[in-house]
C-alpha cells in the first residue's frame, strides 16, 4: 500500500500477569504518531512498533533519528523496560525489522527481519 503521509504505531506491553499485548493503534503524519496506553501497576512497556511510509529513495527499513529519540523518551517512563525494543514495519517490503532502542541514530545496518516470526500464514 502506497501512502506518502500516514504512519501507524502502537506500544507493546507486558502485563502484570505475564501476557503481552499492544496499545490501541494510532495514526499520524510522518514522525508525528502519538502512542498512548493505560498502564496498570506491574505492567511494562517492552517496545513499540510503527510503520514507515513507502519511499522509493530512502531505506525505510532503518529507524530514523526521531525513532531513537522516541525510544529514549519512552525509556524515561518508570513503566518502561530500559531495554525496550523498536520495530519498524516497512511498507515497501511489507516486512518488520527489530532494533534495540539503545543502538542510536548512527545505526546504518538493517536489523533482523522478524516478519516470519510474528506473522503466520
**pLDDT tens-digit map of 32-54:** 667 778 889 999 999 998 888 87
- Is residue 45 situated within a structural domain? no
Question: What percent of the chain shows pLDDT beyond 70?
Answer: 86
Q: What pLDDT band is residue 1 in, cutting at 50, 70 and 90?
A: very low
16 within domain boundaries: yes
How many structural domains are present in the chain?
2
| Residue 8 placed within a domain | yes
Dump strand ranges (E) for the chain.
6-14, 20-22, 26-29, 44-52, 80-90, 95-100
**pLDDT score, position 118:** 60
In a domain? residue 50:
no
Structural domain range at position 21: 1-38
What is the rounded average pLDDT of the residues 66-70? 85
Write down the residue that cell numbers 524515561 correspond to: 76
Contact 53, 32 (CB under 8 A): no
pLDDT over threshold 80, residue 82: yes
pLDDT one-digit tens code per residue, 83-94: 999 999 988 888
CA-based angle 21:2:69, to the nearest 5? 50
Distance CA 21, CA 68 (A): 22
Given CA atoms 24, 117, 60, 14 in this order, what sign does their dihedral have? positive
Mean pLDDT of 17-41: 83
Q: What is the pLDDT of residue 113?
A: 84
Amino acid at each position: 500500500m502506497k501512502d506518502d503521509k500516514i504512519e501507524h504505531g502502537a506500544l507493546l506491553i507486558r502485563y502484570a500477569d505475564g501476557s503481552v499485548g499492544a496499545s490501541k493503534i494510532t495514526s499520524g503524519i510522518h514522525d508525528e504518531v502519538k502512542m498512548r496506553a493505560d498502564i496498570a501497576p506491574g505492567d511494562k512497556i517492552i517496545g513499540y512498533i510503527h510503520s514507515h511510509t513507502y519511499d522509493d529513495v530512502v531505506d525505510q527499513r532503518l529507524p530514523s533519528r526521531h525513532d531513537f529519540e522516541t525510544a529514549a523518551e519512552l525509556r524515561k517512563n518508570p513503566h518502561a523496560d530500559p531495554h525496550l525494543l523498536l520495530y519498524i514495519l516497512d511498507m515497501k517490503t511489507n516486512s518488520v525489522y527489530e532494533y534495540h532502542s539503545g543502538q542510536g541514530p548512527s545505526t546504518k545496518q538493517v536489523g533482523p527481519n522478524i516478519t516470519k516470526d510474528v506473522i503466520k500464514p
